[in-house]
Structure 1
Amino acid sequence: MHTSNETAIAAGSALPLPSPLPPWAKELLKRPLVEIRRGFSTGYDAPSEDASTIVLTAPSGKYVDIRFSTLPRSQAQAALAVKAQGKIWGYATAGLSTATIIPGKGGCPPYDCTVHATWEHPIDSSGSFDTDGADLLLLANGARMEVGSMVIRGKMQMFKEYWVTPTSGATERPCLVAELLEGGADGAKGMAIRIGDYCQGILQHGDEFWFERWEVQEGKDHKWIKDERSNTPASEMGILPCWWMTEKARTLGETLLTDGRKWCVTEVVVDDTSKL
């Protein structure tokens, strides 16, 4: 779901991969990548979906994953979970991902082609700052299936997640990553990623957790709209730099000072992924 396989201007380097890559690997490792989850299941149960989940992954492997719960809730719960600082009705994380093609899989049949991925999440709304992993498979319809295991309700279980790429809107260019510089005494951590018509950002420090999602509104005006489930202030120039990243083209090393914190553009894609 998140890895690096192309040259980009970035803080950090891309992972070395075998060349030439088989077609299935090109699809699983393609970056930049916008992914929308379309189902989750445990064991061999049929998939269902209870969250609005979008993951943005840059070529370096840096990612921002925001999952707004779509489960019913009372007005009181909504006010607490979405509008109060440090709360999220759902789950969100950001960090760095890597992936490897399992040895011997270069010439595998399509149904047995897998990539193993891991995700570090030093920014995490649950406070579990660990690393997890799963295997990725390319389905016949072009979707991706993620298969792994984790503790669910006190029991280790297999899980499956189904991911698709949006069919409308810009989903590759431009690709920008902005990161918080100098966390300060409170140890703040922050990351925001824009890929095409999508932008998501997270800032975590102490007991506070700020997050937001922006998307381009469909239609002729090409207007950016902030998801109302975001918990950052309503004003444009707020805590996170998403509004700034969507305003116009930004360059590597460009900085923004907002809410007393300094953000820096640490990655900008400049090459053509269509030639992979």
Structure 2
Amino acid sequence: MGSISIREHIRWGSDPSSEPTSTLVLTSPGRRFVDVRVLRRVSSPSTSSRQAPTGSQHPSHENFGILPGDQLDWAFAGTSSSGTVTRPDGNQGSHSVFLHWVDNRSREPENVRDEGDMFPQRNGVTLETGRMVNPATGVETDYEELWRDEEPESTSVGGVACVVFQIQDDSSGKRGQFVRLGRYAQGVLRSGDTFTAERWTWDQGQFKWRRLAKVGDGEAPSLGHLLVEHDSPYKVGEQVETPSGIWTTIEVSG
């Protein structure tokens, strides 16, 4: 079925918990994911393209528009896997490992270490704990993240619940992954030194996809061309030609 995960907070060490980003993770039934974390703070109030989000703090209401790359906290895509873990107190959870295939912070994403222990909480959220480098200090630090999952909802368009696209041309340094799951879609694309991340949501009232954020190269072709509906059903292995390149459909679920 896939999962839609919204982060509620992050805490480093003994620091107070906070949520400086709008973080949304889309994971397909085949465990392919796109994780996009857009900074909520305003870098330059005088620049209209860096306006703060409007509406509630739910990702579907945060309209960031087009933002420069320094407003992207972290964006990456790849695959994930999970196994059972038990705390000393007997509380059971899962240990998740996230293998990065494209990452805005690294030109060698396969070397990024990203894993954590997930423990369900009584109020329906999930507490993730682990240890990784704090980007603010450059020091490996204990962390916790609180996640809330939403059930994917159908758009009633195209008869598909989830579709995943991928693009790869290592000779030109191009890699990208795009996940459409329910009423959300996110994609990341690296092309050499250029990195772009986008987030979209389905607008039921307008009956169309609406872009919530484009972070990185504002002049880069939109990834939204992957959301254009076509008459025939999506098929694994099918290629989709867009201004950003030729993408391959690698997963489809109804």
TM-score by length of 1: 0.72
Look up the equivalent residue of 2:44 and give its one-letter code.
Answer: S
Q: In structure 1, what is the Cα distance between the partners aligned to 2:48 and 2:95?
A: 37
Deviation string 1:234-261 (CA, Å, 9 cap, x unpaired) is 89xx342x44336355222222111262
Other-structure match for 2:58: none
Counterpart residue number, 1:93? 76
Residue 165 (structure 2) aligns with: 178
Aligned to 2:226, the other structure's residue is in SS state: helix
Q: Name the amino acid aligned to 1:62.
A: R
Q: Secondary structure at the match of 2:227?
A: helix
1:58 maps to: 28
Structure-2 separation of matches of 1:203 and 1:258:
13
- Residue 197 (structure 1) aligned with residue 183 (structure 2): yes
Counterpart secondary structure, 1:100: strand
Aligned residue pairs: how many? Answer: 229
Separation in 2, partners of 1:49, 1:170: 28
Q: Is 1:69 matched with 2:69?
A: no
1:245: which partner in 2?
227
- Decide whether the 8 Å contact of 2:7 with 2:24 is kept in 1: yes
Question: Which residue of the partner structure matches residue 53 of structure 2?
Answer: none
Change (3 A) 1:116 1:253: same
SS in structure 2 of the partner of residue 227 of structure 1: strand
Query: Which residue of 2 is the match for residue 225 of structure 1?
Result: 210
Q: Does 1:187 align with 2:169?
A: no
2:74 maps to a residue whose letter is Y
- Matched residue type, 2:91: D
Change (3 A) 1:247 1:110: farther
After superposition, the CA RMSD in angstroms is 3.1
Contact conserved, 2:67 with 2:213, CA < 8 A, in 1? Answer: no
Is 2:193 aligned against 1:213? Answer: no
Q: Distance between the aligned counterparts of 1:79 and 1:243, measured in 2?
A: 22
Deviation at 1:167, TM superposition (A): 6.7
Checking the alignment, whether the CA contact within 8 Å between 1:213 and 1:230 is kept in structure 2 is no
What is the CA-CA distance between 1:268 and the residue it aligns to? 1.1
Do the aligned partners of residues 77 and 124 (structure 1) sit closer, same or farther apart at CA in structure 2, a change above 3 Å counting? farther
Secondary structure of 2:180's match? strand
- Opposite residue 132 of structure 2, the aligned amino acid is M
Task: Say whether the 8 Å CA contact 2:4–2:151 is kept in structure 1.
Answer: no
SS of residue matched to 1:247: coil
Instruction: Name structure 2 gaps, 5 residues minimum.
Output: 51-65
Per-residue deviation, residues 125-150 of structure 1 (Å, max 9, x unmatched): 11162131110011111111110012
Q: Unaligned stretches of 5+ in structure 1?
A: 1-30, 271-276
Cα separation, partners in 2 of 1:74 and 1:266, compared to 1, 3 Å = same
User: Once the two structures are superposed, what CA deviation does each residue of 1:35-54 show, in whole Å capped at 9, x if it has no partner?
Assistant: 11111112244421100110
Q: Cα distance, 1:123 vs. partner? A: 0.8
Give the strand-richer structure, 1 or 2: 2
Kept in 2, the 8 Å contact 1:39–1:162? The answer is: yes
Does the 8 Å contact 1:42/1:158 carry over to 2? yes
Task: Give the Cα separation in 2 of the matches to 1:48 and 1:150.
Answer: 17
Indicate conservation of the 8 Å contact 2:82/2:97, yes or no.
Answer: yes
Letter in 1 for 2:124: G
Divergent runs of 4+, >4 A: 75-80, 108-111, 167-171, 231-235
Aligned AA for 1:156? E
Q: Distance in 1 between matches of 2:253 and 2:3?
A: 12
The reply on whether 1:156 has 2:125 as its aligned counterpart is no
Other-structure match for 1:113 = 92
Change (3 A) 1:115 1:163: same
Residues 1:132 and 2:114 aligned together: yes
Letter in 2 for 1:177: V
Contact 2:26 2:35 in 1 (8 A): yes
Over residues 146-203 of structure 1, what are the superposed CA-to-partner deviations in whole Å (9 max), with x where a residue is unaligned?
Answer: 10012321433211111112378549x611110114x153121010001000000111
